A and B are shown apart, each in its own frame.
Chain A
Amino acid sequence: MALHFLTEHEYEVVARCADRLLPPHAAFVGGAAAGVAGYVDLTLGGFEFDPPRIWAGGPFSGRFGGAATFDQFIPLSRVEELAWRTRIEGSRGIAEREWNGPVRGWQEIYREGIAMLADNFLDLAGEEQEAALDALPELKQLLFEHACEACYGSPEYGGNLDLNGWRAIGYAGDVQPRGWRDEEVTSA
């Protein structure tokens, strides 16, 4: 698999962590199989693409009719690129990115956080992995937020593989342009 920011080891660590945060369940394949690591890699490496993979296109995904356009990502303006590069890459001492001081980027949080986990993290038991992640609250919080987005957001961002996230919760996702009929809204 071609990765865009994560190393293969980091990718595996993110996947295992995703299964601890959003675990498999009778109805749900778990964060790893739902594509969290792929989502994180595409988010951190979003500027490898042109346009960058920040905002999916519109108006329709094609899942409920209409032409599929979500995969045509929207170009960023100059300041929007500045914001997203700063958020993802960090300010790195670049004056243009530090109008309110230094910003720690998501790439640094993942790379440094994962490096602080034990070398044999992937071999640890689940409870031990959870304890290790608990000791790194900055990484855990960011990974949790990204895992939630990955599992329950639009698949064009790289997560929600085979719509497993939405299927597990009985959620249709984006329904335009079909929408819901009035009786589907009002009836039980």
Chain B
Amino acid sequence: MPDFDVVIVGSGPGGATTADVLTAAGKSVCVLEKGRNHLLALEPPFESLGRLSNDEIKFNRRHFLGPDPLLEPRTYRRAVADGDRIFTGDVNNMPSTVGGAGYHADGKLPRYREIDFRLAGELGPVDGAEVADWPVDYDEIEPYYAEAERAIGVAGDHTGNPFAAWRSGRYPMPPGADMFLTTLTGPAAETLGYHPYRAPTGANSVPYDGRPACNNCGFCAFYGCPIEAKGDPVALLRRALRTGNCEIRPESIALEILVDSTGKQSRGVRYLDADGTQHEVTSNAAVVACGAFETPRLLLRSGIGNSSDLVGRYLMFHLQTIVLGYFPFRLHAYKGRDVTHLMDDPIVGDAASAAAAKTAGVPYLRGGIVEHGGSGHPIGEALYTPPGQQHSARMAASDRRDRMVGFTMQGEDLPQATNRVDLDPAVRDVWGLPAGRITYTSHEHDVACAHHWGPRLEEVLRQAGAHTTSWLTSPGTPGTRVPGLQPISRHWMGTARMGDDPRRSVCDPWQRLWDVDNVVVTDSSVFPTSTGYGPTLTLVALAVRAARALAGIEPLTSDRANAI
């Protein structure tokens, strides 16, 4: 008799969703989380621990939510020609804590569009990339999107985005307050023919699900919400705990997925506890939801799932084009939800982007959502302001924080087998495990897209009143300024892709490993393509679908005929 029906590794949005669905179905679940628990008491009534706060030092300078890059270094190189690595430390780190990467974001939760699931079929192949259709389409996933929006609590305006896919219902909540800067950038974008809309956001605009409305404190991206108004996994995890079927074990480092003598069945997980003592937890099935960096690292360490040699490959993390506009007056972007408007125009494309694609020698250009946002908090501004005579005057003027608008385009990056996560040959984490290593170079499509849209988005900021504009990319691309050597996007995808063919994918269409029947991956590792949208809502929707299948529950049915 195993200890639990299912052991889930990772308590972020994917793992928390899986736990929620499975426990509601009566399954007993153990969630192993390598990070600490700062989120909620693990005993009834599962109240907030009260440790989350508006504190730039704690969250942005001292790794409160983990991972501490000293304890868990990652390494980075652009290509094999760089040698073993060119950087060691924080590479795209996302929180490693109970609630996982659900904390990091300002909670923008857009759906994908129909075409995103069949890019290869619709638009054809691209040289140097392995674009693949998803084994699930929008119509099938739509009811899971609706369920994900209800479970997390998403505020949005279903009439706002003219390019949006069909919906079976409204958002659970209306949008929250528009940030002042969007009253400038929104009309400017419309004047130039673009289509900004109120961002679907996982922050309560009204009291929802027993949690209060967001009060616009401005500490959103990279912070935990002190009043539980953000749609991080607190609601999902608390619901799972309340069933009495869920046990969360923080500070538990999964060492390997255990398989039986056939190698086809998992029997549990071996892990280290906070004191460094090894344990095994046995189960009928295992769910891997560690995020698209740690999931392949765990699978590679366990030596499972890799008969296709694709575990860790097709790593994607959005080529970010960051467009900055400096204004002659203050914009107080520190008030509000960090980003309150998006636009899809670079994803949809137009005649000019099609012409740019032709010039660049690629079949199409697909950019990403453009986030209309401000800048961060003052320590960050101070660190980017050179020390010396002008420092204090420049801080008082605050050109780089209080008078700046930042557009971020989350550009679709195309899947390449050479972009990957593997195990570093020498660098170790504090537990003695090989560090994960990233090898990543942007495809020429992604670069061309950034170079096309950067200047066009500068025009929007000038139209909005910016006196000076600039743009850059992360990772750096030829001819752009580089904010740092390693990429800064936190959108990880693709490292255990799902598909219909076991030779060309790691997971089947229900996110099970082809090689091990009872191991399911419920994070963005399974994405065959990156699209130009943030991945969280889609990974949650897919996790609902995969968890229901694992629990033997009927699939949700799609009803396009009754779209609103």
Tell me whether A38 is interfacial, beta carbon within 8 Å: no
Question: Please, which residue of chain B has its CB at the minimum distance from the CB of A66?
Answer: B226
Chain B residue with the shortest CB-CB distance to A188? B180
Q: Specify which chain A residues have a CB less than 8 angstroms from the CB of B180 in the assembled complex.
A: 185-188
Known: A57-B51, A100-B428. A78 touches B275 (CB 8 A): yes
Given contacts A58-B226, A79-B430, is CB(A145)–CB(B383) below 8 Å?
yes
Do B215 and A58 touch (CB < 8 A)?
A: no
Partner of B51, one of A74, A83, A180, A188: A74
Q: Are A154 and B55 within 8 A (Cβ)?
A: yes
Given known contacts A28-B392, A169-B395, A86 and B70 CB-to-CB distance under 8 angstroms: yes
Distance (whole angstroms) from the CB of B9 to the closest CB of chain A: 18
List, in ascending order, chain B residues with CB within 8 A of A169's CB.
378, 395-396, 398, 402
Q: Is A55 within 8 A of B64, CB to CB?
A: yes
Of the candidates A152, A183, A185, the one whose C-beta lies within 8 Å of that of B378 is: A152
Asked whether any CB of chain A lies closer than 8 Å to the CB of B432, the reply is yes
Place the interface of chain A in its size category: 35 or more
Contacting pair A154 B396 (CB below 8 A): no
Interface residues of B in 76-132 (CB under 8 A from A): 88
Q: Mark B60-81, 1 if CB is under 8 A from A, else 0.
A: 0110100010110100000000
Scoring B50, B58, B430 by chain A CB atoms within 10 A of each residue's CB, the highest score goes to B58
How far apart are the CA atoms of A61 and B183 in the complex, in Å?
A: 32
A22 to chain B, nearest CB (A): 5
Quick check: B179 and A77 within 8 Å, CB to CB? no
Contact, CB under 8 Å: A168 / B56: no
- Choose from A55, A69, A78, A176 the contact partner of B217 (Cβ within 8 Å): A176
Q: Check if A99 sits within 8 Å of B430, measured CB to CB.
A: yes
Does B177 make an interface contact (CB < 8 A)?
yes
Cross-chain contact A177 with B226 (CB below 8 angstroms): yes
Q: Are B68 and A80 closer than 8 Å at their CB atoms?
A: yes
Chain A residues numbered 12-50 whose CB sits less than 8 Å from any CB in chain B: 20-28, 30
Most buried by A among B57, B61, B276, B428: B57
Whether a CB of chain B sits under 8 angstroms from the CB of A130 is yes
Q: Is the CB of B430 within 8 A of A54?
A: no
8 Å CB contacts to A: which residues of B128-182?
A: 176-180
A180 touches B392 (CB 8 A): no
- With A144-B387, A179-B217 as known contacts, state yes or no: A77 contacts B71, CB within 8 Å: no
Q: State which of A54, A56, A152, A186 has its C-beta within 8 Å of the C-beta of B177.
A: A186
Check B215–A176 contact: CB distance below 8 A.
Answer: yes
Give bound CA distance, A140 to B180, whole Å.
38
* Segment 116-168 of A: residues with Cβ below 8 Å from B: 130, 140, 144-145, 147-149, 151-154, 157, 165-166, 168
Chain A residues with CB below 8 A from B336, complex form: 180, 185
Residue of A nearest to B68 (CB): A83
The contact of B395 among A70, A87, A168, by CB within 8 Å, is: A168
- Taking the closest CB of chain A, its distance from the CB of B280, in whole angstroms, is 21
Whether B355 is near chain A, meaning CB under 8 Å from some CB there, is no
| Interface membership of B415, Cβ < 8 A | no
Decide if A152 touches B215 in the complex (CB within 8 Å): no
Q: Cα distance A70–B177 when bound, in Å?
A: 28
Whether B430 and A185, one on each chain, are in contact in the complex, defined by CB atoms closer than 8 angstroms, is no
- Whether A170 pairs with B402 at a CB distance below 8 angstroms is yes
- Could you mark each residue 421-434 of chain B with 1 if its beta carbon is under 8 Å from any beta carbon of chain A, else 0? 00000011110100
The answer to whether A173 touches B54, judged by C-beta atoms less than 8 angstroms apart, is yes
Kindly state whether residue B482 has any CB partner on chain A within 8 Å: no
- Nearest-neighbour CB distance to chain B for A79, whole angstroms, equals 5
Complexed CA–CA distance, A175 and B377 (Å): 13
Q: Identify which of A23, A87, A144, A152 gathers the most chain B CB atoms within 10 Å of its CB.
A: A152
Docked complex Cα distance between A41 and B227 (Å): 32
A102 at interface (Cβ–Cβ under 8 A)?
no
Chain A residues with Cβ under 8 A from B55's Cβ? 56, 58, 70, 153-154, 174
Residues of B within 8 Å of A145, CB to CB, are: 383
| Complex CA distance for A64 and B177, rounded to whole angstroms | 21
Q: Is the CB of A23 within 8 A of B275?
A: no
Q: CA A100 – CA B177 in complex, angstroms?
A: 47
How far is A48 from B48 in the complex, measured between Cα atoms in Å? Answer: 29
Q: Does any Cβ of A come within 8 Å of B44's Cβ?
A: no
> In the assembly, what is the distance between CA of A55 and CA of B432, in Å?
26
Q: Looking at the complex, which one of B38, B219, B395 makes contact with A28 (CB distance below 8 Å)? A: B395
**B57:A56 contact, CB within 8 angstroms:** yes
**Once bound together, how far apart are the Cα atoms of A165 and B392, in whole Å?**
10
Flag whether A178 is at the interface (Cβ < 8 A).
yes
- Residues of chain B with a CB closer than 8 A to A82's CB: 71, 430
Which of B73, B227, B398 gathers most chain A CB within 10 Å?
Answer: B227
Within 8 A of A (CB), among B383-399: 383, 387-389, 391-393, 395-396, 398
Is B357 positioned at the interface, with any CB of A under 8 Å from its CB? no
- CB atoms of B52 and A58 under 8 A apart: yes
Complex CA gap A15/B438 in Å reads: 41
Q: Is the CB of B391 within 8 A of A99?
A: no
The distance in angstroms between the C-alpha atoms of A151 and B382, with both chains bound, is: 9
Bound CA span A86–B274, Å: 18
Name the A residues within 8 Å of B177 (CB-CB): 182-183, 185-186
Q: Shortest beta-carbon distance, B425 to chain A, in Å?
A: 13
| Residue in contact with A57 in the complex, picked from B53, B56, B62, B335, CB distance below 8 Å | B53
A146 to chain B, nearest CB (A): 10
Q: Is the CB of A77 within 8 A of B53?
A: no
A83 contact set on B, CB distance < 8 A: 68, 70-71, 430
Chain B residues with Cβ under 8 A from A187's Cβ?
180
The reply on B36 being an interface residue by CB < 8 A is yes
Considering the chains assembled together, what is the distance between the CA atoms of A29 and B242 in angstroms? 52
Please state if B392 and A182 are interface contacts (CB–CB under 8 Å). Answer: no
Chain B contacts of A144 at CB under 8 A?
Answer: 383, 387
B2 to chain A, nearest CB (A): 29
Most buried by B among A157, A171, A183: A171
* Assembly CA distance A175 to B334 (angstroms): 11
Beta-carbon contact of A181 and B216 below 8 Å: yes
A60 on the interface (CB 8 Å rule)?
Answer: yes
Chain B interface (Cβ < 8 Å from any Cβ of A): 36, 38, 48, 50-58, 61-62, 64, 68, 70-71, 73, 88, 176-180, 183, 214-219, 226-227, 251, 274-276, 329-330, 334-336, 377-379, 381-383, 387-389, 391-393, 395-396, 398, 402, 427-430, 432
Q: Which 6 A-B pairs have the closest CB atoms?
A: A179-B215, A58-B53, A174-B54, A25-B392, A59-B226, A148-B382
| 7 A-B pairs (CB sep. < 8 Å) | A20-B387, A25-B393, A87-B70, A169-B378, A169-B396, A176-B53, A176-B219
New A-B pairs, 17, CB < 8 Å, besides A58-B226, A177-B215:
A21-B388, A56-B55, A56-B58, A59-B48, A69-B50, A149-B57, A151-B382, A153-B61, A154-B56, A170-B402, A177-B227, A178-B215, A179-B215, A180-B335, A180-B336, A185-B180, A185-B216
